[in-house]
Structure 1
Amino acid sequence: MTSPPLATYSIGGVTHYGAVTDAGIVDLSPRFGKDYPTLREAIAAGALMKLADDAARRSPDHALDAIAWQPPIPAPEKIICIGVNYPDRNAEYKDGQDAPKYPSMFMRTPRSFVGHNAPLVRPRASPQLDYEGELVIVIGKAGRHIKESAALDHIAAITLCNEGTIRDWVRHAKFNVTQGKNFDSTGSLGPWLVPYTNEAQIADIHLTTKVNGEPRQDDRTGRLIFGFRYLLSYISTFTTLVPGDVIVTGTPTGAGARFDPPRYLKPGDVIEVEAEGVGVLRNGVVDEAQ
């Protein structure tokens, strides 16, 4: 990476943001917190590269093992998730249908996500916690009725998601998946934001998911059924995209539910979602407290 990625984290119970280097975290909150209280305000001001450039000239303030990683965007207005967006994923449904004409999508709440290295929580209500590795687009410039030709101008950064799902709860109702997608602390976002620079950066990213070191998902963003330009244009037809909005762009084939028998997550498992040019989002699993 030419510029250090930017992260939200806590230390001593206080939330900060900073730039991530191999040697540690450069704390940017004391220098820029008045203008940008969080990375969401920095995104809105178009200041991510300014922060990264400033940090590149400084020494780290905290060791990487001294911090608790948080989802990079505090309190995003919208977290919009895209379903069935890789060709092999569509084939998994075995319903004989061609690729969909329009994208499937649903919303998630910020409370349903944890940060990098924090455990996902398998809820008391169900043992069917599953993983879904995905690339994430973070919106940098507001827009409504965005044209595909201009869509990438609205991207501020990219990051990763483990879009954890409670499988039996997504089938509770006739036509929605909201319940199974929003259990507290069942997914993760992070570990950091990589500032977006150009289309080549996101055109064909290699995305993988491993569970306990075993490869489970493997695909490339160049194979998306609905590409990034189309998604931003389509979504902005019905809602105004604003800085800090999170678009989770879809998962490849290979989630645990698709094995026979299914291979759901259990306490002690470690899931790693990795994308070239972004990094690795790593989480363990624990059971919800009784």
Structure 2
Amino acid sequence: MTEPARFLSFVRDGSAGYGIETPAGIVDLSARHGDRWPSLREVIADGALDTLSSEASRLSSDFSAEGITYGSPVPAPEKIICVGVNYPDRNEEYRDGQAAQANPSLFVRFARSFVGHDVPLNRPPESVQLDYEGEIVLIVGKAGRRIAEKDALSHVAGISLANEGTIRDWVRHAKFNVTQGKNFDGTGSIGPWLTPFVDESQIADIALETRVNGEVRQRDRTRRMIFSFRKIVSYISTFTTLVPGDMILTGTPTGAGARLDPPVWLRPGDVVEVSAEGLGILRNGIRDEIANA
């Protein structure tokens, strides 16, 4: 079976671009098609991932990955929607005696709160309670509203990984709102690549794992999700039109640092890795945020 293409967005020599990462290096597709498709968002909207993947398979790499800064795969998405409490053990962590709800809990994040692979996450000066959450990401490829569950995955163009980094004490700053703690600049990451979505077997039952300094902290399988990928896409599309490039973070397993006894927060020098079968490894170090950067 042919390995799926690894699409990425990057910055090189101060200029943003996109391409495909191969074992030999980066095939720079933006240098060839940037006038038509300025970013991967436009590539996705035009349904051109397969076309560019086929083209890249016949090309040699243009430069090494060592000279780039990885970005989140889709720059400036219209929406980033996140699912909370979507694995059964995660629901039990709340110890509130409540069974899983009939519909997913949702919140939104801003694009600026995410960085790419191998870019350090920020620990802001306002709090030391930076935590990790490994997740599978769905990237919308076809617009839709009130999408039936049976049709939901036909609207998905790609998959990726996320570390949905959270400032824990800032999700408690108001009575029932998590927006602040989920949106500090550069506290989460998405990547390393966009893997084109082919069929449901890619995500139906795959292992998702988060490691901190090599220690496994989170591990579960997607077949155990409370709300399926189909349900999530269909439910969200009930109230908002999904458009190409939108990203949906589908929930994290048990084992975040906040739930350890005592809690263990990420510190400068730590390395967090999120991995899933067929999607690679998303790796980020931790640094103190540089003021006014």
Q: Give the TM interval when normalised to the shorter protein.
A: over 0.9
| 1:108 corresponds to | 109
CA–CA separation in structure 1 for the residues paired with 2:132 and 2:225:
19
| 1:166 corresponds to | 167
CA–CA separation in structure 2 for the residues paired with 1:189 and 1:7:
11
**What's the TM-score, normalizing by structure 1?**
0.99
CA–CA separation in structure 2 for the residues paired with 1:289 and 1:46:
39
Gaps of 5+ in 1: none
1:1-290 equivalences in 2 (<5 Å): 2-290=3-291
Q: Which runs of 4+ in 1 moved over 6 A?
A: none
- Determine helix, strand or coil for the equivalent of 1:134: strand
Counterpart code for 2:27:
V
Contact 1:116/1:188, CA 8 A, preserved across alignment:
yes
Counterpart code for 1:161:
A
Contact 1:80/1:246, CA 8 A, preserved across alignment:
yes
CA–CA separation in structure 2 for the residues paired with 1:156 and 1:35:
19
Q: Tell me how far 1:50 sits from its aligned partner.
A: 1.1
Contact 1:3/1:53, CA 8 A, preserved across alignment:
no
- Determine helix, strand or coil for the equivalent of 1:257: helix
CA–CA separation in structure 1 for the residues paired with 2:53 and 2:218:
31
Counterpart code for 1:247:
I
CA–CA separation in structure 2 for the residues paired with 1:206 and 1:176:
30
Contact 1:114/1:185, CA 8 A, preserved across alignment:
yes
Query: In percent, how many aligned pairs have the same letter?
Result: 63
Q: Tell me how far 1:190 sits from its aligned partner.
A: 0.6
Counterpart code for 2:160:
T
Q: Tell me how far 1:289 sits from its aligned partner.
A: 2.2
Q: Tell me how far 1:3 sits from its aligned partner.
A: 2.9
Q: Which moved more, 1:184-193 or 1:1-10?
A: 1-10
CA–CA separation in structure 2 for the residues paired with 1:27 and 1:145:
37
CA RMSD of aligned residues (A): 0.8
CA–CA separation in structure 2 for the residues paired with 1:35 and 1:43:
12
Cα deviation, 1:11-31, whole Å, max 9, x if unaligned, reads 000011000111110000122
Counterpart code for 2:181:
G
**What's the TM-score, normalizing by structure 2?**
0.98
Cα deviation, 1:180-225, whole Å, max 9, x if unaligned, reads 0000000001111000001111111210000000000001111110
